């Protein structure tokens, strides 16, 4: 199942949702339209024991198109942001484990996408940030909801208002990610975690996000 911005495939009851616009895997309005369609019309009809979300190539994603975001904000088209938040929240409500595996850049909306997953595994050189403040914007796709819930208000406020970047080792200390693995081992590590989760919880899995 391939769209211009996304591709999905399945291996042994595990789904792989891949941001498919290398090298940056930018998340623009087309991306969110495709994500919405996939989450509403495809994913509910697929039997899975887990879902892995990742990016094609060197990076998870550089995030949203900033010029496009600023235009939506300037025109006060806030429904765009509300809809995107709802799409990502629906991912967090999946009845099976959802794991983001992150290499390279994971910025802005991409960080928010990773935060909506139940677990995050990153390579040592993965870089996380919510840089919207640098463009006179605020995180508009759930970062102000997901991040405080995950790491606490004070730490989240620091990252949101400074826009600073954190590498994987600091992200692990802050509680943003759950594990660090070498890039070549990211998929294997995620599959091992899914095996463990499914053996522990089976069909009664409940998201740690909620």
Q: Which domains does the chain have, with CATH numbers?
A: 6-201 (3.90.226.10)
Q: Which residues of the chain are modeled with pLDDT < 50?
A: 209-210
Can you point out the beta strands (E) in the chain? 6-11, 14-19, 50-55, 98-102, 105-107, 119-122, 127-129, 166-167, 179-180
- Tell me phi and psi for residue 34, to 5 degrees: -70, -40
Residue 51, pLDDT score: 97
Sequence-ordered list of residues with C-beta below 8 angstroms from that of 86, at least 6 positions apart, any chain: none
Nearest to 49 by CA among 204, 210, 208, 209: 204
- pLDDT per position as a tens digit, 182-202: 999 999 999 999 999 988 876
How far is 97 from 76, CA to CA, in rounded Å?
A: 35
Predicted confidence at residue 78, as pLDDT, reads 75
Of the candidates 41, 39, 30, 29, the one whose C-alpha atom is nearest the C-alpha of residue 3 is 30
- State how far the alpha carbon of 23 is from the alpha carbons of 43, 67, 119, 163, 179, in Å: 26, 19, 24, 23, 24
| CA proximity to 60, closest of 150, 192, 190 | 190
* pLDDT of the residue at 2: 64
Angle at Cα 188 formed by Cα 184 and Cα 193, nearest 5°?
135
Helix (DSSP H) and strand (DSSP E) numbers for the chain: 8, 9
For 99, phi then psi, to 5°, come to -120, 130
pLDDT, residue 140, reads 83
Q: What is the pLDDT of residue 73?
A: 77
pLDDT attached to residue 150: 95
Question: Considering the entire predicted model, what is its pTM?
Answer: 0.91
pLDDT the model gives residue 206? 59
- 63-73 tens-digit pLDDT: 988 888 778 87
């Amino acid at each position: 199942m391939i769209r211009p911005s996304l591709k999905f495939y399945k291996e042994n009851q595990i789904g792989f949702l891949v941001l498919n616009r290398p090298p940056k895997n930018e998340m623009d309005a087309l991306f969110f339209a495709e994500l919405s369609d996939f989450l509403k019309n495809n994913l509910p009809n697929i039997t899975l024991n887990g879902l892995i979300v990742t990016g094609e190539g060197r990076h998870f994603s550089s995030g949203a198109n900033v010029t496009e975001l600023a235009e939506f904000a300037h025109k006060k088209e806030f429904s765009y942001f509300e809809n995107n938040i709802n799409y990502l929240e629906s991912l967090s409500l999946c009845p099976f484990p959802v794991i983001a595996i992150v290499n390279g850049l994971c910025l802005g909306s991409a960080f928010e996408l990773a935060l909506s997953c139940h677990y995050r595994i990153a390579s040592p050189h993965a870089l996380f940030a919510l840089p919207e403040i640098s463009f006179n914007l605020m995180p508009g796709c759930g970062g102000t909801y997901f991040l405080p819930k995950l790491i606490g208000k004070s730490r989240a406020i620091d990252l949101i208002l400074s826009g600073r970047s954190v590498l994987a080792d600091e992200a692990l200390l802050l509680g943003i990610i759950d594990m660090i693995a070498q890039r070549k081992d990211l998929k294997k590590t995620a599959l091992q975690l899914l095996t463990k989760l499914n053996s522990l919880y089976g069909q009664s899995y409940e998201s740690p996000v909620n």
